[in-house]
Amino acid sequence: MRARLVRIGSLLGVTLVLAFYAEALAHAPATGQDLRTFYAAAVVLRHGGDPYDPRQLARWEERLYRPTTAAGRTALAENPYVQGPPLAIALLPLVGQPVGLIYRGWAIILALAAAVALALSARLWPMGASGSRFLRYAGLLLVSPITFVGVFLGQPDAILLLAFVGALTLYRRYPLAAGALVALGLVKPQIMAGPLLLVAALAWREGRIFRYIAGLLLGCCVLLGASAAIAGPAIVREWARGLTGFGATTVYAQVDVSSLSTLYVGWAPHALAVICVVVGLGAWAALSVGLWTTARCDEGRRWWLMTALTLWLLATPYAHPHDDALLLPAVWYLLDHGPYKGATRLLALLTLLAWWLLPMTSVLGLRPPIVRGLGIVPILLLAALLMTRRPVPRSGYWSLPE
């Protein structure tokens, strides 16, 4: 009876969430907001301009979207284009088409990418249970706010997630293809640098590191070469300058940033912020190496991968809740490694609530300064829960903690 009530409650909850999503997609002003920025960047490129110049971008956004309120104009000004040139170049063939139509097609692609990434995760790490359990967990992750926020805004994180999981699927047998696949991270190198290094560590252990690096370099050369040829070397240099000039644009100081930089970038001088970022990245690298040395079996290495990935999303200087879609494999791992008892069960419940509720503040546009730092809470809880699942050696073999 209790299990039946839980199933009915879960079904009703998912139905309400989907109804809310449908309403948000149909009427929320922020629907496709980031895709509109990407599209405007493509328009600037088409007319020979520099999409990384906020003034040029703002002028074209005014022409394209004609905001009628001061809040609308401010929203455009505070959302510069910071992604890699390949994203704007990919939209060049669509310049001139209605941006609403482009968004609908793009949203379908993102949803399919997330679904395929979850299917690949299930193939990589089968739960060893019935198909109904897989469908239940996969559905839970697909409709979670972390996934929805990316689709809602038009961010390419689901495609980057697919590239990451695809590389994990390929690196043993096809390391060249795995390296080329994660080269898509040039769209968001501040998000994908960590994942591609983690795959590199796994490829190194399998003796595939040189072919993996060759594929990565080949993919990067193709994307950067095409960017320089189509957009011009000056645009590529401007993009690189923006990456190294961390904190120079308002996008780095938005209150819903979900990495540790949100705690200091709003008030710290630029030099101090850069030092904090370097220290954070160094701590991530040291901790990842330290944990790697203790991961002596497949289960241990899987736990290491999920933990290092989670910590990376905290350490990278610029991540939003939608970027945390890269953590879906880590959540999949935790769903597969129950049951949870005692204090660990409470931690798991808090993690679930934070994962579902806090990202909704971004969807709803609730971003007052008082909520600065809330974006890191789900990631911190996820990391803490992963630490309770760390495999431990017992009598010559490895097992999970009770």
- Confidence at residue 230, expressed as pLDDT on a 0 to 100 scale: 94
Contacts of 361 (CB under 8 A, 6+ apart): 256, 367, 371, 374
- Confidence at residue 205, expressed as pLDDT on a 0 to 100 scale: 92
Alpha helices in 259-376 (DSSP H): 270-292, 298-315, 328-336, 342-357, 360-363
Q: Are 45 and 231 in contact (CB under 8 A)?
A: yes
- Confidence at residue 402, expressed as pLDDT on a 0 to 100 scale: 43
Spatial distance between the Cα atoms of 313 and 318, rounded to a whole number of angstroms? 9
Q: Are 316 and 190 in contact (CB under 8 A)?
A: yes
pTM: 0.90
Sequence letter at residue 66 = R
- Confidence at residue 71, expressed as pLDDT on a 0 to 100 scale: 61
Q: 156: helix, coil or strand?
A: coil
Tens place of pLDDT per residue across the chain (402 aa): 655 665 666 666 666 666 767 766 666 666 888 999 999 999 999 999 999 998 899 889 888 887 766 666 666 666 788 899 999 999 999 999 999 899 999 999 999 999 999 889 888 887 755 555 666 677 777 778 888 889 888 999 999 999 999 999 999 999 999 999 999 999 999 899 999 999 999 999 999 999 999 999 999 999 999 999 999 999 999 998 877 765 555 445 566 778 888 888 777 777 788 888 889 999 999 999 999 988 878 888 999 999 999 999 999 988 888 899 999 999 888 888 777 888 888 898 888 888 877 776 655 655 555 556 677 888 999 999 999 888 875 544 444 444
In terms of residue numbers, what domain contains 371?
255-391
Sequence letter at residue 22 = A
On whether residue 287 sits in a domain, the answer given is yes
On whether residue 308 sits in a domain, the answer given is yes
On whether residue 174 sits in a domain, the answer given is no
H/E stretch holding 394: strand 392-394
Sign of torsion, CA 132 360 81 88? positive
Sequence letter at residue 7 = R
Sequence letter at residue 83 = Q
- Confidence at residue 70, expressed as pLDDT on a 0 to 100 scale: 64
On whether residue 27 sits in a domain, the answer given is no
On whether residue 241 sits in a domain, the answer given is no
Bridge partners, 392 (sequence order): 399
On whether residue 331 sits in a domain, the answer given is yes
Q: Compute the C-alpha angle 41/44/50, nearest 5°.
A: 90
- Confidence at residue 401, expressed as pLDDT on a 0 to 100 scale: 47
On whether residue 264 sits in a domain, the answer given is yes
Spatial distance between the Cα atoms of 54 and 78, rounded to a whole number of angstroms? 9
On whether residue 314 sits in a domain, the answer given is yes
Per the structure, the count of domains in the chain is: 1
Spatial distance between the Cα atoms of 126 and 78, rounded to a whole number of angstroms? 43
